[in-house]
Structure 1
Amino acid sequence: MFRQAARQFTTSARRANLIADLYVRELKAFKPTPLTAADAQEATKPWKLPAAAKVPALEAEGADALAEYDSASVDVVAAAPANGAAEEYKPDDWFVFPVDEEPGHHH
Structure 2
Amino acid sequence: MFAARLLTRAAVARPAVSFMAVRSFTAPSAPLMQDILKDLYIKELKGYKPTPDAKGADASSQVKEFKVPVAPATPAIDASADLAAWEQANVEIVDAVSEEAVEEEEEEEEEEEEEAHH
**TM-score above 0.5, yes or no:** no
RCO higher in structure (CA 8 A, sep ≥6): 1
TM-score bracket for the superposition, by shorter chain length = 0.3 to 0.5
Counting helix residues as a fraction of each chain, which structure ranks higher?
Answer: 2
Query: TM-score with structure 1 length normalisation?
Result: 0.37
Query: TM-score with structure 2 length normalisation?
Result: 0.34
